[in-house]
A and B are shown apart, each in its own frame.
Chain A
Amino acid sequence: DGGITQSPKYLFRKEGQNVTLSCEQNLNHDAMYWYRQDPGQGLRLIYYSQIVNDFQKGDIAEGYSVSREKKESFPLTVTSAQKNPTAFYLCASSIVAGGYGTEAFFGQGTRLTVV
């Protein structure tokens, strides 16, 4: 079945440690995105990528890093520079054709708790 897979679903880390969240899609989508959601809040864009080896900062990129070495994969690293990393992280992908984007499809999310 085609879809987006995020792993792990739950992640606990000690303060000051870097952690990498996985996102893989087999939908052959061009664009991939990372969002952060805090309790009772909306989605905020961290990073996005339209093609392999290229990505752009979103609204809250500080303390995060990404890579896009393969079309299928867009891992997110939460670094120790991120001051409040505990949140629900959502990865999404969409088709981009002729400058127009289709709807985004989401993975099930990763809940990161830093203790």
Chain B
Amino acid sequence: RKEVEQDPGPFNVPEGATVAFNCTYSNSASQSFFWYRQDCRKEPKLLMSVYSSGNEDGRFTAQLNRASQYISLLIRDSKLSDSATYLCVVNLYTGGFKTIFGAGTRLFVKA
């Protein structure tokens, strides 16, 4: 089983739609969680951190469920510019520290 799993998509949605991405992680030693955005042929960039209480940044809402080892990202009122790959990222510490990326979910927002 992969340490971080995401639905690869692609998700094809119209402008204005609400879309949700899910991510599960297998290691309970996971400590911190993030969502990254990656545009085609570019490096990933941090979209938002994910906090235990859930957090929101404009149209984006991230949630964490430690009991179920599950992270989500909700995008409201999708824009064409939201088209990208969204990567779920987990930091874990098991005697050593490392950062694990999910394979990403591709989103296409269409007019």
Chain A residues packing against B (C-beta within 8 Å): 31, 33, 35, 41-43, 45, 48, 50, 56, 58, 88, 90, 92, 94, 96, 99-109
Cβ contacts under 8 Å, B96 to chain A: 50, 56
Q: Once the chains are docked, how many angstroms separate the CA of A101 from the CA of B32?
A: 7
B84 CB to nearest chain A CB (Å):
14
- Known contacts A94-B99, A100-B31: A107-B93 contact under CB 8 Å: no
Q: Is B73 an interface residue (CB 8 A)?
A: no
Q: Is B25 an interface residue (CB 8 A)?
A: no
A26 CB to nearest chain B CB (Å):
17
Q: Once the chains are docked, how many angstroms separate the CA of A94 from the CA of B64?
A: 21
Q: Which 3 A-B pairs give the minimum distances between C-beta atoms? A: A42-B103, A106-B43, A101-B91
Q: Once the chains are docked, how many angstroms separate the CA of A100 from the CA of B32?
A: 8
Q: Once the chains are docked, how many angstroms separate the CA of A56 from the CA of B96?
A: 9
Give the tally of cross-chain contacts (CB within 8 A). 63
B43, A108: Cβ atoms under 8 Å?
yes
A92, B99: Cβ atoms under 8 Å?
yes
Q: Which residues of chain B from 38 to 55 have any CB-CB distance to chain A below 8 Å in the complex?
A: 41-46, 49
Cβ contacts under 8 Å, A104 to chain B: 46, 89, 99
- Known contacts A101-B97, A106-B45: A43-B32 contact under CB 8 Å: no
List 15 additional contacts besides A42-B101, A43-B87, A56-B98; criterion CB under 8 Å.
A31-B97, A31-B99, A42-B103, A42-B104, A45-B101, A48-B99, A50-B96, A90-B44, A100-B91, A101-B99, A103-B46, A103-B89, A104-B99, A105-B46, A109-B43
Between-chain CB contacts (< 8 Å), 26 pairs: A31-B97, A31-B99, A41-B103, A42-B104, A43-B44, A45-B100, A45-B101, A50-B96, A56-B96, A88-B41, A94-B91, A94-B99, A96-B97, A99-B31, A99-B93, A101-B91, A101-B93, A101-B99, A102-B32, A103-B34, A103-B49, A103-B89, A104-B46, A105-B46, A106-B44, A108-B42
